[in-house]
Amino acid sequence: MPLVRRRVLVSGRVQGVFYRDTCRRVAQRHGVAGWVRNLRDGRVEAAFEGAPSAVEAMVRWSGEGPEHAAVTRVEEHDEPPEGLTTFEIR
């Protein structure tokens, strides 16, 4: 099965609402590798790598986030897969 990778930049109320931890748990459920981190400007950045349908599910989830998040924008960028095997919080 081909792997795909997509990086997202998520804006809105996405820090201090357990976005990164929830993202890690959802990614693990979907079998997606990658990482997620807070940026100094208040956004969250994440990279998702895995099966196309699983990565797409994570991109959709990014636009919703956890219960207390208020996502206002998601920027998506396709990237070449790196062969990641785990999902981590950076």
Separation of first and last alpha carbons in the chain: 28
> Could you confirm whether 38 is annotated as catalytic?
yes
Given 5, 20, 24, 43, which residue is catalytic?
Answer: 20
> Could you confirm whether 20 is annotated as catalytic?
yes
Buried b (16+ CB within 10 A) or exposed e, 22-33: bbbebbeebebb
Joined together, the tokens standing for residue 27 give 């990614």
| Active site positions, annotated | 20, 38
